Amino acid sequence: MNVFDNKESLRKSGRKISHDVYTPKMDAEEFRKRGKEMIDFVANYLENIDELKVFPQVEPGYLHKMISADPPIKPEEWDNIMNDVNSVIMPGITHWHHPHFHAYFPAANSYAAMCGDILSGGIGCIGFTWASSPACTELEVVMMDWLAKMLQLPKDFLSESGTGGGVIYNTCSEATFVALLAARNKAIEFRRKENLDEDQYTIMSKLVGYYSDQAHSSVERAGLLSMIKMREVKSIKRKMRGSVLQEMIKEDLENGFYPFYCVATLGTTGSCAFDSLDEIGPICEAHQIWLHVDAAYAGSALICQEYRHLLDGIEYAMSFVFNPHKWMLVNFDCSAVWFKDSRFVVETFTVDPVYLKHKKEGKCPDFRHWHIQLGRRFRSLKIWFVLRLYGVDGIQKYIRNHIKLAHLFEKLMLGDDRFEIVEEVTMGLVCFRLKGNNEINKELYSRIEGDGRIHIVTSEFSDTDTLYLRFAVCYQFATEDHVKYAYGTIIDITNQMDLCSDLFLEK
Ligand SMILES: Cc1ncc(COP(=O)(O)O)c(C=O)c1O
């Protein structure tokens, strides 16, 4: 049925369409009641989450069959909607905040951040310019400075530098893409100064960027979207090394290309390896290459002094991003991005319609010039709530606990000589596999999935065609018992396998 049939038939029959006065279905009083109930619902969900299966038991298309294909014409009762939350939505949820969720990387969350988000939703401002909501812009500037100081980023990245500064994006993928666009414009400007005869399209066709074969797929995608050539640098022991990069740059220069952009990863998605920033940085600087550093997951841990050395070389970077929404108790979305010289981004993105101008321009950043979209949420509120409620100290304790538990899992796995650890455990991720071929590991994974007690994912080292399993410590309140439970589950499942089967003995 076409939902507009009703009005259409009224129109055709010549009868008058009545324009009722709009009356909100939920007034402030009702909101107080239902809002409090919703808080209870969420708190109960999170408090009792361990009673649920971590991974949903539904098939693709399940939800489609349970709700109407057309929007409701008449208002519905709140209680009916909430009933459907229970019967339609919850069965299809993968419980990322379940104690036995060990897949991907953590999705940060905390009650403090959720409260900040509620306030942000309630204020409901769209902070594209300073004037569109001064507190939204100004708190973001201060929060980004706080985070930069926690990471001990070079002063060039702080707002006080005058040219540098931070901004909140939705994702790392966006940051990598925006940094590429800014680097592209910087390179074009530089090349045009060198040779006025070369137009921007010719220059663009000669630009070349670099990223490690371990980098996240968003880097390759940034190249695809911008239609700029990006070359994969072969990693050595999962790290991008200066010598390999240097060789490729030399080769490209000899072939008339213009190296302009390089993405280094601190904490790769596959195995949490760290590119050698201190080797890559000076090479980028020598060739005027924009170095962008992606520390999506591991960035949060670099606020702990014992891991800060992994950021050595950050002074060479033009831009840096990490996701507080992965590992800093701030819920999605919240990607913290810094530019050493924001002018390159601003110049790349500035378009100036009259209706967005305001009298105080130039005194504070107008973040609409810093990214692709215009509208932006008040996301710094949730950072503010988390940092104030936990303090740096509290966040460090939370991160250190996760890393300690990852080492416990590593130790347990190493205690069983059927298993091997395939990558050094640096943060809260352990990459392990059964000794033997990929088939046996596929089988183990498939059984873990089918069993449903814990949720993990696999990955592979494509150069050696090695499939492995990833165990990430994700649960906010993770304890040794949770790690032992996961280990016990894996051992239990392994014990049920016939490891001597011909299939598994084949190379
Ligand atoms: C190193 C790295 N970069 C980028 C991403 C993509 O993150 P986002 O979803 O913020 O784009 C990930 C995701 O896990 C990642 O691990």
Going residue by residue through the chain (507 aa), what tens digit of pLDDT does each one get? 444 455 555 555 555 655 677 777 889 999 999 999 999 999 999 999 999 999 999 999 999 999 999 999 999 999 999 999 999 999 999 999 999 999 999 999 999 999 999 999 999 999 888 888 999 999 999 999 999 999 999 999 999 998 999 999 999 999 999 999 999 999 999 988 887 788 889 999 999 999 999 999 999 999 999 999 999 999 999 999 999 999 999 999 999 999 999 999 999 999 999 999 999 999 999 999 999 999 999 999 999 999 999 999 999 999 999 999 999 999 999 999 999 998 888 888 777 666 666 777 777 788 888 888 888 999 999 999 999 999 999 999 999 999 999 999 999 999 999 999 999 999 999 999 999 999 999 999 999 999 999 999 999 998 889 999 999 999 999 999 999 999 999 999 999 997 777 666 555
| pLDDT tens digit sequence for 257-272 | 999 999 999 999 999 9
Instruction: Indicate whether residue 296 lines ligand 1 (CB < 6 A).
Output: yes
**What is the spatial distance between Cα 378 and Cα 144, in angstroms, rounded to a whole number?**
13
Q: What is the pLDDT of residue 347?
A: 82
Domains contained in the chain, CATH given: 21-51+56-92 (1.20.1340.10), 134-378 (3.40.640.10), 391-505 (3.90.1150.10)
Instruction: Indicate whether residue 297 lines ligand 1 (CB < 6 A).
Output: yes
How many Cβ atoms are within 10 Å of 426's Cβ, its own excluded? Answer: 18
Instruction: Indicate whether residue 214 lines ligand 1 (CB < 6 A).
Output: no
- Pocket probe mutation, ligand 1, options 168, 171, 216, max atoms within 8 Å of Cβ: 216
Q: Distance, CA 219 to ligand 1 centroid (Å)?
A: 9
Q: What is the pLDDT of residue 303?
A: 97
User: Where do we find the tokens 């009868």?
Assistant: 15
CA dihedral 302, 265, 241, 312 (to 10 degrees): -30
User: Where do we find the tokens 């090479």?
Assistant: 283
Q: Distance, CA 216 to ligand 1 centroid (Å)?
A: 6
CA dihedral 363, 367, 368, 373 (to 10 degrees): 180
Is residue 349 within 8 Å of 370, Cβ to Cβ? yes
Instruction: Indicate whether residue 176 lines ligand 1 (CB < 6 A).
Output: no
Residue ID of nearest Cα to ligand 1 atom 14:
269
Catalytic residues: 216
Q: Which two tokens stand for residue 420?
A: 């091997």
Q: Distance, CA 37 to ligand 1 centroid (Å)?
A: 34
Q: Order the strands of the 319-322 sheet from edge to edge.
A: 165-169, 335-339, 319-322, 290-294, 258-265, 207-212, 229-233
**What is the spatial distance between Cα 269 and Cα 322, in angstroms, rounded to a whole number?**
13
Is residue 217 within 8 Å of 462, Cβ to Cβ? no
Query: Which atom of ligand 1 is least distant from the CA of 173?
Result: 11
Q: What is the pLDDT of residue 4?
A: 47
Instruction: Indicate whether residue 335 lines ligand 1 (CB < 6 A).
Output: yes
Q: How far is CA 429 from CA 404, 408, 425, in A?
A: 11, 11, 6
**What is the spatial distance between Cα 313 and Cα 34, in angstroms, rounded to a whole number?**
51
Q: ∠ CA(83), CA(87), CA(88), 5° rounding?
A: 110
Instruction: Indicate whether residue 323 lines ligand 1 (CB < 6 A).
Output: yes
Q: Is 86 helix (H, G, I), strand (E, B) or coil?
A: helix
Q: Is 464 helix (H, G, I), strand (E, B) or coil?
A: coil
Residue ID of nearest Cα to ligand 1 atom 16:
269
429 secondary structure, DSSP code:
E
User: Where do we find the tokens 């893409």?
Assistant: 177
**What is the spatial distance between Cα 384 and Cα 394, in angstroms, rounded to a whole number?**
14
Instruction: Indicate whether residue 216 lines ligand 1 (CB < 6 A).
Output: yes
Is residue 382 within 8 Å of 156, Cβ to Cβ? no
Burial of 35 (0-12, 13-18, 19+ CB in 10 A): middle
Q: What is the pLDDT of residue 108?
A: 94
User: Beta partners for 239?
Assistant: 236
